[in-house]
Amino acid sequence: MPGTELFGEEEKKEVMDVLNTGVLFRYNHDAQRKGQWKAKEFEAEIARFTGAKHALAVSSGSTAVSSMLAACGVGYGDHVIVPPFTFVATIEAVLLAGAIPVFAEIDETLCLSAEGIRNACTPKTKAVLLVHMCGAAADIDGILAVCNEKNIMLIEDTAQALGATYKGKHLGLFGRMGSFSFDFFKIATCGEGGVIISNDEQLIKTAEYMSDHGHNHEGDNRGMEQHPIMGTNFRIGEINAAIGLAQSRKLPLMVAKQRANKATIQARLSKIPGLAFRKQCDDAGDSATFFHLLLPSADAAFALHKELGAQGIGTMYWFNNMYHYIKQWDHIKDLSMPYKLVAHELGLPQDLKTMTFPKSDAVMSRLVSFNIRVTWTEAELDAFLGKVEGAVKKVMEGVVA
Ligand SMILES: Cc1ncc(COP(=O)(O)O)c(C=O)c1O
């Protein structure tokens, strides 16, 4: 991922600013911190980059989703439509909020489809938690139309899609709120961290109170102000924020480089007959973090994954992956938790143990993805593509199975 590929002196400099003051906490200690407010600067940088009016940094992408659900008033017994292809954190956040996940089908956008959402609506549906999977947009127009028609709110888990846009507007700004993850495997990383964006000041304020035990941060002495609500500790620390700040400044370069490399890959691989790609709702807005191949059959996809693996090229065959596709989520289907959840009491409207997702399976079983690197030289990318082309052709001609 670009964040780890381009990690360097800029990150160290920002961290040293913090270490030189010794103020690791994002609030208070005004004199000792000598003008260093890394969390605030990180938020300002993400707001500037995405065009959001407001941004709030928190401790992770997971706590960002929990904060959004809380700020939007999603809780006890509410039904929340979620995709079967995401990172499990999306589903965990819904369950931890006391809400009930309702799974809907995805399509070749790799995201929830408008039709899937429509079919999954129940009288208790309060929100769609839309995941823009693997760095590119879902069918926003179609999904917004269903949300408006059914009077349900759209909340965007944009953890994997920082830098991606739809018709020129950054993902995360189409629903009430959007969240990003800065964990170690994202486009930009700060080790562990998350950022929520919104154009609604009150929602961001509520998320802010939620992230710090309900403190409203008014005045200059945090801890002695009012608590409009209860909350918990989802705060980001200054060291993580400092790294996030340095990484955020590199986002325009990262996205531009990924997009340029994607164009090269697309031009080469689209010459292979019978090979298809992820359906893009706005190709130009793809953050181009991943490249996705759709093979003619599940067997061909798995064979390609194995063949490239044998050549030392790691690809993702998400269909069998433990953390990203519902097929392997027995712990979620069993609602396994050390304590009682609202979902245990109210039950799920779907029997996840017997339920099938034929449309999602049809896409996922044929999908093979790989990361687009930003530090590839022209020669390295050329050699990489040579191997991918060779393997795809072998698989398509039935030479390997
Ligand atoms: C879609 C999605 N949501 C939420 C998260 C959680 O982010 P974090 O690891 O920062 O808690 C991730 C992380 O992989 C993710 O991919």
**Is the Cβ–Cβ distance between 206 and 181 less than 8 Å?**
no
pLDDT of residue 119: 98
For ligand 1, the distance from its centroid to the CA atom of residue 396, given in whole angstroms, is 34
Residue 83, pLDDT > 90, answer: yes
pLDDT of residue 345: 97
What are the residue ranges of CATH 3.90.1150.10 in the chain? Answer: 253-396
What are the residue ranges of CATH 3.40.640.10 in the chain? Answer: 2-250
Asked if residue 156 has its Cβ within 6 Å of ligand 1, the reply is: no
Asked if residue 65 has its Cβ within 6 Å of ligand 1, the reply is: yes
Residue 168, pLDDT > 90, answer: yes
Asked if residue 89 has its Cβ within 6 Å of ligand 1, the reply is: yes
For ligand 1, the distance from its centroid to the CA atom of residue 180, given in whole angstroms, is 8
Ligand 1 atom nearest to 131, measured from its CA: 1
Asked if residue 157 has its Cβ within 6 Å of ligand 1, the reply is: yes
Q: Under CATH, what is the fold of the domain 253-396? A: Aspartate Aminotransferase, domain 1 (3.90.1150)
For ligand 1, the distance from its centroid to the CA atom of residue 157, given in whole angstroms, is 8
CA–CA separation, 76 vs 235, rounded Å? 24
* Confidence band of 210 (pLDDT split at 50, 70, 90): very high
185-to-31, 155, 364 alpha-carbon distances in Å:
36, 22, 21
CA-based R_g, the chain, Å: 22
For ligand 1, the distance from its centroid to the CA atom of residue 193, given in whole angstroms, is 10
Residue 61, pLDDT > 70, answer: yes
Give the pLDDT mean for 45-54.
98
Asked if residue 62 has its Cβ within 6 Å of ligand 1, the reply is: yes
Collect all residues with Cβ–Cβ distance below 8 Å to 316 and sequence separation of at least 6.
290, 305, 368, 369, 370
CA–CA separation, 255 vs 21, rounded Å? 33
* Confidence band of 287 (pLDDT split at 50, 70, 90): very high
Q: Please state, for a pLDDT cut of 90, what percent of the chain lies above it.
A: 95
Residue 76, pLDDT > 60, answer: yes
**Which residues in 69-92 are b (16+ Cβ under 10 Å) and which e?**
bbbbebeeebbbbbbbbbbbbbbb
Dump pLDDT digits (tens) for 292-351.
999 999 999 999 999 999 999 999 999 998 899 999 999 999 999 999 999 999 999 999
CA–CA separation, 56 vs 194, rounded Å? 8
Which residue's alpha carbon is nearest to atom 10 within ligand 1?
61
Asked if residue 194 has its Cβ within 6 Å of ligand 1, the reply is: yes
pLDDT of residue 4: 93
Residue 221, pLDDT > 90, answer: no
Give the pLDDT mean for 28-40.
95
What is 2-250's CATH number? 3.40.640.10
**Is the Cβ–Cβ distance between 163 and 169 less than 8 Å?**
no
Q: At what angle do helices 251-269 and 378-396 cross, to 10 degrees?
A: 40
pLDDT of residue 267: 96
Distance of CA 29 to the CA centre of its chain: 33
Residue 401, pLDDT > 60, answer: no
Query: For all residues of the chain together, what is the average pLDDT?
Result: 96
Mutational pocket test of ligand 1: of 160, 240, 325, the residue with most ligand atoms within 8 Å of the beta carbon: 160
List for the chain the helix, strand, coil content (%; round to 5): 40, 15, 45
Give the pLDDT mean for 61-69.
98
pLDDT of residue 346: 97
Window from 10-19, 41-50, 152-161, 318-327 with minimum mean pLDDT: 318-327
Query: Collapsing DSSP states into helix, strand and coil, what is residue 295?
Result: coil
Asked if residue 289 has its Cβ within 6 Å of ligand 1, the reply is: no
Return left, alpha or beta for 167; rule: phi > 0 is left, psi -120 to 50 is alpha, else beta. left
pLDDT of residue 400: 61
Contacts 24+ apart (CB under 8 A), 296-299: 296/366, 296/396, 297/366, 298/365, 298/366, 299/401
- DSSP assignment of 109-121 equals TSSB-HHHHHHH-
Which residue's alpha carbon is nearest to atom 7 within ligand 1?
61
**Is the Cβ–Cβ distance between 122 and 103 less than 8 Å?**
no
Predicted model pTM: 0.97
Distance of CA 21 to the CA centre of its chain: 33
Asked if residue 159 has its Cβ within 6 Å of ligand 1, the reply is: yes
